[in-house]
Amino acid sequence: MTAMSSPLLHPFHPRYQRFLFCVFSCLFVAMIPCLSAQEVKTLRLEPAPNMTRAELHYVATVPNPKAVLVLCPGCNGSAEDLIRSPKWIAFAKQHRLGLVGLSFASPLPAIEDGTGYYYASRGSGEKLVEGVRKIYGRELPLFLYGFSGGAHFTSRFEEWNPARVLSWCALSAGWWDEPKQNSISPPGIVACGDEDPRYGASLIYFKQGRAAGKPWQWVSLPKIGHQGSPALDNFVRDYFSAVLTSPKMSVWTDIDREEKVSSSEQAAQPSLTGWLPSEKLFDEWRRLNAP
């Protein structure tokens, strides 16, 4: 009996097909780290004063994006792993966005005295603008999503250069600068876990922003400390999508009673209300939020 006629080696024999499947599966799994490494590129910039690192990680999403989504990690962290997320990559491709991960760092004394990268007006904001211009070859508007140290940078970048920001979300900053009235106020989300010591400061910041007339939404995350939230990630993607696609379908919310309110009602008590860019987000926000 020849090798080809052997039941174990015949190309159509089930055992032979299972053998091939295992071989190709192992090869595919072995290739995944190489593919991932090729997807992420890094732009290294000259750090601004009081910065020790100024890098942007990015992945190819679509040619000629119309805006850029910037993910901002915690204190002195790198968002390289964040931009590898299939969900963020798919979201960026769906909405024709570039995808960038912040990797900024400063000495802790500079962060604490208001001169480090948390403070976009002190040079770090311009580094992000410069980096986006170098990566994409032109100026592009931004979506910003930051956690902890990234929330510090996100909120202050939006205050420093609101004209560049389409929308933003800041989750769990440790302290905040009082928001100022501005002729340009991009819609945003202020969020915090209700077991995070930063909760009170975050809620005060939100209320100050709403008192200044800013179109912001509050999200109180139940039974969560100082950590990220996949549920909030999903909501942020839907919120940013609505900003792009349905701004005329917006709705005002009562953040305590979790009810829709009229424009006149929110004007009477702005710090008790929030703004959603689409009525379709109302039920999702109510499921996520815990007043």
Query: What are the structural domain ranges in the chain?
Result: 55-234
Tokens encoding 44: 């290294």
How are beta strands 251-254 and 259-261 bridged, if at all? antiparallel
Residue 27 pLDDT: 40
- DSSP conformation letters of 256-288: TTTEEE-HHHHHHSGGGEEEESBGGGHHHHHHH
- Strand 67-72 to 142-147 pairing: parallel
Contact 102, 56 (CB under 8 A): yes
Q: Has this prediction a pTM greater than 0.75?
A: yes
41 SS3 class: strand
Residue 248, pLDDT score: 76
Query: How far is the C-alpha of 270 from the C-alpha of 220, rounded, in Å?
Result: 17
Mean pLDDT, each 10-residue run in order, the chain (291 residues): 43 50 42 50 97 98 97 98 97 98 98 98 98 98 98 98 98 96 94 98 98 97 97 98 87 97 96 96 97 87
**3-state class percentages of the chain: helix first, strand second, coil last, to nearest 5:** 40, 20, 35
pLDDT number for residue 18: 54
Give the per-residue pLDDT at 3.
40
- Residue 271 structure tokens: 């710090």
What's the rounded Cα separation, in Å, for the pair 236 and 28?
32
State how far the Cα of 207 lies from the Cα of 213, in Å rounded to an integer.
10
Return the DSSP state at 83: G
Nearest to 179 by CA among 166, 192, 188: 188
Q: Which two tokens mark 143?
A: 């979506």
Q: CATH code for 55-234?
A: 3.40.50.1820
Taking Cα atoms as reference points, which of 130, 134, 119, 144 lies closest to residue 51? 119
Chain centre to alpha carbon of residue 88 = 9
- Parallel, antiparallel, or unpaired: how do β-strands 165-171 and 188-193 relate? parallel
Residue 246's pLDDT is: 74
